[in-house]
Copies of this chain bind each other. A is one copy, B any other.
Amino acid sequence: MGVLEGMRVVESSAFVAVPSAGMTLAQMGADVIRIDMPGGGMDSGRWPVTRSGRSLFWAGMNKGKRSVSIDLSDPRGRELAAELICAPGPDAGCFITNLPARGEMSFASLRERRADVIMVSLKGTRDGAPAVDYSVNPALGFPTATGPEGSADPVSHVLPAFDLIAGQMITGALLAAERQRLCRGRGQLVELALKDVAAAVLGHCGIIGEVVVNGVDRPKYGNALYGGYGQDFVCGDGRRVMVIGLTVRQWRNLVKVTGSETPIAALAARLGVDLDGEGARFEARDAITAILRPWFAARSVADFAGAFDAAGVTWSVFRSFAEAVREDPDLSTDNPMFHMLDQPGIGRFPVPASPVTFGAGPRDRPTPAPGLGQHTEEVLAELLGLGSGQIGALMDSGVVAGPVPA
């Protein structure tokens, strides 16, 4: 009963971006049908995996989808996939992919079958060269600007950030194209490249301008917040916290709650700057940090956590993943986004629904990821009207496959 109820999207994908796009659409109520090779595509066993080898990644990226196993290396398989993509219905005819769409699955061929088909295709680079988040990120400079001040070693991010940005962008682009189809009746091919997504981010954040206009090559600033005040501190109990003074209000709250008004005012007077200016705070960050460091070193997190929250300070403890799962109620069923879910073959753990709530209806609970080929029969019967004899023959010929036995 999600906001996209009635919409149908076929997905043929691997890695993070397109699977996360499909899952986002599924969690908003679309019927998302993921097509994979019998036995699984490239990412069916992607890490993290359970001790028995089941992919937690697959389970995470495919929640709420239906799974159909079709051999896309066989023209008869591609023909079936094309029929699924182009199945009738005003809200169907949508295809998202980052795999080579050959022959029957090419946009030209799909459009012959259904004139208003929408296909969103993600490439690695605009030229079609292979690229993944791990290769795009070093190319564009982020690892070189990440890590301890003064270090020459690049640090790559662990979060597949560009993949996840691209995934959400695919969701938006599909909905934008589908909006145009609703209004004007026409479909289209929508294309983007992972590296272009990252390159655009570099521009949007002002970094290309910083290089070209200012002639500045941004160095590493450690964990300091760029352009304002924000810094990590080790506390008396050995825990580390991040505190933020990006806006004037955040900054004043931080100064007040740490009782640092006098030394901070003295610092401002000595430097002849107004520390209400965020750039001034960034430039004076080391002197500010020197004032605040003893305050944190003398206290445990428990000593100030309540006061910080009451004063509206923007801050956080640093946690490992396990500490976060153990300590942070936002990762538990205390958060209505999370539900305990039994993922077949894996077990029971907290699983997120969509982070977005739509006021017109209740938030859907998350539903498990399908087993590979779990819905092959159901989907072929429902969308293409195939009978059990026809489906049986396709299975016997290896063109499609049902569920993999557990």
Contacts and interface: CB of A to CB of B under 8 A. Distances in A.
B139 A316 contact: yes
A20 to B, nearest CB: 6
Contacts of A335: 126, 196, 199
A357 B188 CA distance: 10
A297 interface: no
Contacts of A147: 147, 155
A321 B211 contact: yes
Nearest to A57: B206
Contacts of A328: 139-140, 199
B240 A352 contact: no
A173 B356 contact: yes
Interface stretch (A32-40, A66-74, A226-234, A261-269): A226-234
A81 B108 CA distance: 46
Given A47-B279, A143-B223, A209-B48, A351 B134 contact: no
B204 A324 contact: no
Chain multiplicity (copies): 2
A115 interface: no
Contact of A193 (B51, B57, B177, B355): B355
Nearest to A319: B141
A61 interface: yes
A45 to B, nearest CB: 7
A180 interface: yes
A205 B142 CA distance: 21
Nearest to A241: B138
A85 interface: no
Interface stretch (A157-165, A288-296, A371-379, A388-396): A157-165
- The contact size tier of chain A is 35 or more
Contact of A192 (B125, B178, B356): B356
B206 A48 contact: yes
B48 A207 contact: yes
B355 A200 contact: yes
A42 B138 contact: no
A140 B358 contact: no
Contacts of A213: 50, 56, 346-347, 349
A337 B200 contact: yes
A186 B28 CA distance: 17
Given A199-B352, A309-B129, A320 B141 contact: yes
Interface string A79-118: 0000000000000000000000000000100000000000
A244 B20 contact: no
A367 interface: no
Report, nearest first, the 6 A-B pairs whose CB atoms are least far apart: A47-B227, A168-B168, A56-B206, A217-B322, A161-B161, A141-B321
11 contacts: A46-B227, A47-B278, A125-B330, A126-B335, A131-B316, A134-B244, A135-B316, A144-B323, A179-B182, A196-B330, A199-B338
